[in-house]
Amino acid sequence: MHCDPRFSRVREVFERHFADGVELGAAFAVYLDGELVVDLWDGVADRRTGRPWERDTPVFAYSCTKAVTATVLLRLAERGLVDVTAPVAEVWPEFGVQGKQRVTVEHLLSHQAGLPALEEPVPVEEFEDLPAIAARLAGQRPIWRAGSMHGYHALTYGFLVGEVVRRVTGKSVGELVAAEISGPLGLDLWVGAPDDVIARAARLSAGPPPGSETGRGDGAPGAPVGAATPSGPPQYPNGGIAVAAQNPDSLMNRTLGNPSIQDLKGGANNPVILRAGWPAAGMVTTARSLAAFYRALLAGELLRPETLQDAIRPRVTGPDQVLLLDSSFGLGFMRPGMTFFLPSATAFGHTGMGGSIGLADPEHGLAAGYVMNRMADAFSGNLRAIRLMEAVYRSI
């Protein structure tokens, strides 16, 4: 492990989480002005076997994937292969039905398309057939008029954006990540993991009972149950979240639960999910590689500076129709708010179900990644990541 002496308090927080029993296995990495200053890992990768978490242990990072997928599409936009302001139907003609003729690629990237949930249950047999799932969405009518409001497209974001990528390149998001991001940068980061990576990946695990800081099922997605506050555990900002979380027919649960990962043995630990490469929630990575992805973004190695600056410009800020919280999104990137809680207004990135997070802060020259295998009780704003990032900011 490595920790620059300037960041000793970060190591103290990381170690305290294990001493207090709120971590099972985890890793945290930070780059400052391009230099790796924190690279920590500890604990158990699989509590069934006691297999230790090692330097290169990868783990499923849920929606941290979305920022990587957005980067893939924005790279295509830089080449003139897709216009983010143009209607999706220009590259995907079958999409332009049921009132979706004016839905733009920008609407997809910023959760404004009105297609947060699939109407019909997706059978397990289709979980790895991403074009088939996208075709289901192409035939749907939006819940709201695109651009009139926004709501977190937890899973459909990836099927929609991924199909645009496939239509203009003939390749999947995962293939382009491997060829243009992970390969050239030497990252342990996959959107759709190969069998050898699956074999050594950490296994997601339940924490203490729901209501504590870390409880949630064995890798299967749970409903969001609150947002973090700077001085305490996740709170309910309004009663609607609690009600929606308990209602299987709520838009929140329909959005988070279809395709139903819970239909597979082991939930997100099942090789079907790790291999499928869902572009909204299908990334397997290490903390160091997740941080290095954001380091490369800040360095202009993946996107032109002007492209990145435009991508992180908030397109929507305010009430989220799915999460029932205020959220803020650029083009595929979260901005600070109730669903992306950071002590800096200039940061951008994305959280993942259970507690993982990847981010960059151009004002402070920071890039960070946190991954773990003990699932948090909160959809976003996991206290472990918040404490670590607060320690980072105090250190600089």
- Spatial distance between the Cα atoms of 92 and 170, rounded to a whole number of angstroms: 12
- Spatial distance between the Cα atoms of 48 and 121, rounded to a whole number of angstroms: 32
Catalytic residue among 8, 63, 205, 380: 63
Two tokens, residue 120? 């019909």
- Spatial distance between the Cα atoms of 294 and 312, rounded to a whole number of angstroms: 13
Smallest CA-to-CA distance from 70 within 87, 88, 91, 84 is with 84
Q: How many domains does the chain have?
A: 1
Give the pLDDT of residue 217.
Answer: 31
Question: In sequence order, what DSSP letters do the residues of 362-382 get, joined into one string?
Answer: TTTTEEEEEEESB--SSSS--
Residue showing tokens 């302001």: 85
133: CATH: 3.40.710.10
Strands (E) in the chain, as ranges, are: 2-3, 25-32, 35-46, 51-52, 59-60, 189-191, 227-229, 232-235, 283-285, 316-319, 326-329, 348-351, 357-361, 366-372
Task: Tell me the longest C-alpha to C-alpha distance in the chain.
Answer: 58
Give the pLDDT of residue 208.
Answer: 55
- Spatial distance between the Cα atoms of 57 and 203, rounded to a whole number of angstroms: 10
- Is 63 annotated in the active site? yes
Give the pLDDT of residue 207.
Answer: 64
Phi and psi angles of residue 3, each rounded to the nearest 5 degrees, phi first: -150, 115
Smallest CA-to-CA distance from 386 within 228, 273, 249 is with 228
Two tokens, residue 48? 């069934």
- Spatial distance between the Cα atoms of 307 and 310, rounded to a whole number of angstroms: 5
What is the pTM (predicted TM-score) of this model?
0.91
**C-alpha distances out from residue 219 to 40, 60, 222, 341, Å:** 23, 9, 9, 23
Q: Is 162 helix (H, G, I), strand (E, B) or coil?
A: helix
Two tokens, residue 137? 């969405």
Chain CA centroid to CA 251, Å: 19
> Can the peptide bond before residue 259 be classed as cis, meaning omega within 30 degrees of 0?
yes
Two tokens, residue 145? 């008029």
Give the pLDDT of residue 39.
Answer: 98
Give the pLDDT of residue 233.
Answer: 33
Q: How many other CB atoms are there within 10 angstroms of residue 310's CB atom?
A: 16
On whether the CB atoms of residues 373 and 205 are closer than 8 A, the answer is: yes
Buried b (16+ CB within 10 A) or exposed e, 278-307: bbbbbbbbbbbbbbbbbbbbbeeebbeeeb
- Spatial distance between the Cα atoms of 240 and 252, rounded to a whole number of angstroms: 11
Per-residue three-class SS string for 254-278? HHHCCCCHHHCCCHHHCHHHHHHCC
Give the pLDDT of residue 70.
Answer: 98
Taking only the tens of pLDDT, the chain with its 396 residues reads 999 999 999 999 999 999 999 999 999 999 999 999 999 999 999 999 999 999 999 999 999 999 999 999 999 999 999 999 999 999 999 999 999 999 999 999 999 999 999 999 999 999 999 999 999 999 999 999 999 999 999 999 999 999 999 999 999 999 999 999 999 999 999 999 999 999 999 999 986 544 444 333 333 333 332 233 333 333 434 456 767 777 888 999 999 999 999 999 999 999 999 999 999 999 999 999 999 999 999 999 999 999 999 999 999 999 999 999 999 999 999 999 888 988 899 999 999 999 999 999 999 999 999 999 999 865 444 799 999 999 999 999
Two tokens, residue 60? 């499923």
Two tokens, residue 59? 């783990």
- Spatial distance between the Cα atoms of 280 and 152, rounded to a whole number of angstroms: 11
- Spatial distance between the Cα atoms of 229 and 325, rounded to a whole number of angstroms: 13
Residue type, 61: A
On whether the CB atoms of residues 125 and 169 are closer than 8 A, the answer is: no
- The domain in which residue 320 lies consists of 2-395
Give the pLDDT of residue 245.
Answer: 74
